[in-house]
Structure 1
């Protein structure tokens, strides 16, 4: 068996990336409850908010209320997405521990999504990056469409490496390599991760996989084999991408934790508490959790 990492960090993205596309408004108190349940499970990093235009992402309009109401667990990083200086100022006021900037590895996606080139999109974050450093906040960069794009199809590993370099030069502490539309396969994942690791330290690269084609767990295992030790997941498999047609949710946190448990890899997270959190938010949304492990473990309790 490959020499896998002894421990991994799981970044829980459900409260932000997971809920941002929900059609029905999720009240601040439900989001707060979700974040608190996840904090209680032992996550070291939770993506809790996005300071973006409520016109574009109405679901995130209550971000400041959520950040004010959560019970902060010592040692946990509460992250917020900040697309510009206005967003940064709001995140700072809300006492975010980490701000997240984002760019695409696909030129076509960048143009369709934010009407500018990749280079222009990264340049726009220079002010945010400098401000984060001045205020002692962690800075995370997220690279979307790193494995495929709904508009241009294949994305070359070299294009991913280029954006990794740009984000490294902005001073990012961590960089996420994201499969926004869930098309990646295991060997491709390893190629892209190995290429990214030539530009940035491997222990600060993260895998963010969507499960559109059912490959997310395989891609996580493939990433473990090349030494990636940070993964993003979403409780109950919440989320998708509003700009990528048919893209299903992020990989479910419960499924990732079940995999890690089976491999004997330490996460520091209590799977039972996460299962409860997944069932809680799914009941509120009025639909079944998308986590197979979560549903199986919940059913086992009631049988």
Structure 2
């Protein structure tokens, strides 16, 4: 299939892009890397009459640390995340997750903001953002607002992003030194979406869990934090028993959809397996 005819717009400033969104309304879609939108257009699941390309707008790329948080422009590509020395040193969970996204061709063009804005429960960044406690800067006609990741992902392809808003920046609290991390992802083949995946960020307080975040990919209508499992692990030692119990709590919170990657029972079981693997790996990497 080929897309329906559309008009192409290449604004040179953020206000121009917001103005186009406001003027064109529901007929307009934003184009970032295009790896989510263009396949949907080819299948005519999305049929915009106008595409607004964000590539020419300055200031939407880059990775830097400001105070106690890491700020990443929404048009930053997956490949740029992977090769960032700052992220490798201070936020390796994001680097590990980006390495597992699709294939090199996609990673050279696909953007962080595009992945997040799409709201696909099968995309990897939503769970990573939840585990990292990220927040998103959304720019619109009335100015900017900041929305925590936990309030942004509302359902399948449904986010808190208003029709006239653009995601411009991701802000991540710099993880504590010595925090353990892991993104454990089960997929059928290279480049595929996750059958199930778990993102873990873990801080140990001696032998006990000081804090832990557990977020899941493709196991509900949207990525989600496994809050019951997190609460259970807080203050406990991580051993075979507590890890297995946490995995059971994760599985109880899952609500996956059956598809070609597996039925509900299989996906739920794999959620437990991925959680166990991620917790063990994060524990091995964490400073005591």
Give the structure-2-normalised TM-score. Answer: 0.26
Normalized per residue, the structure richer in helix is: 1
Higher relative contact order (CA 8 A, sep 6+): 1
